[in-house]
């Protein structure tokens, strides 16, 4: 059996969890991030998926989610609080100058990340009352 065939169900599961995190589909379930990171570790250890790619993708997902002002504040701060975990893995995998430079860039991004306030739910409603009055 090809490693790609073996990898596919885990990769799809990992991608689905990433969408749940990125879209804050279940923002009151912080264990989702733990499950996502564990699934990524499994992919990196037991399939052909690159450990660097898994860690880098995980870090970017968490940092991008934290920066998304359309998502709930508590979910964004939890994502930011967990971003160090894949970053630590990237440090361990930084065996060449190119990767070390990328890791340093990511470290700087995390260290200097300032979250803007989330948009209130009332402002997320599509359209405005002014648009409806003109028709």
Specify the pLDDT at position 2.
47
Task: Tell me how far apart the alpha carbons of residues 30 and 68 are, in angstroms, rounded to a whole number.
Answer: 17
Pick from 20, 30, 58: nearest CA to 42: 58
Report the chain's terminal Cα–Cα distance, integer Å: 61
Between 33-42, 72-81, 122-131, the lowest mean confidence (pLDDT) is in: 122-131
Higher-scoring residue by pLDDT: 122, 36:
36
pTM confidence score? 0.84
Distance CA 59, CA 36 (A): 11
CA–CA gap between residue 37 and residue 59 (Å, rounded) = 10
**What SS3 state is found at 107?**
helix
pLDDT of residue 5: 46
Query: Averaged over 72-100, what is the pLDDT?
Result: 96
Cα 119 off chain centre by: 20
Among residues 90, 126, 130, the alpha carbon closest in space to that of 106 is found at 90
Residue pLDDT, tens place only, 92-131: 999 999 999 999 999 999 999 999 999 887 766 665 555 5
Q: What residues does each domain of the chain span?
A: 3-112
Per the structure block, which two tokens stand in for 75?
């979910």
Question: Tokens 């060449």 belong to which residue?
Answer: 96
Alpha carbons 106 and 42: distance in angstroms, whole number: 23
Rounded (10°) CA dihedral 35, 90, 79, 24:
-60
């Amino acid at each position: 059996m090809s490693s790609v065939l073996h990898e596919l169900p885990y990769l799809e599961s990992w991608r689905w969890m990433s969408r749940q995190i990125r879209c804050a589909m279940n923002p009151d379930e912080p264990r989702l991030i733990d499950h996502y990171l564990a699934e990524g570790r499994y992919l990196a250890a037991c399939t052909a998926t690159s450990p660097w790619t898994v860690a880098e993708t995980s870090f970017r997902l968490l940092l991008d989610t934290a920066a998304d002002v359309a998502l709930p504040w508590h979910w964004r701060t939890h994502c930011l609080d967990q971003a160090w975990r894949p970053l630590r893995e990237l440090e361990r995998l930084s065996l060449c100058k190119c990767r070390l430079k990328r890791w340093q860039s990511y470290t700087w991004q995390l260290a200097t990340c300032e979250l803007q306030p989330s948009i209130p739910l009332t402002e997320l409603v599509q359209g405005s009352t002014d648009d409806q009055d003109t028709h």
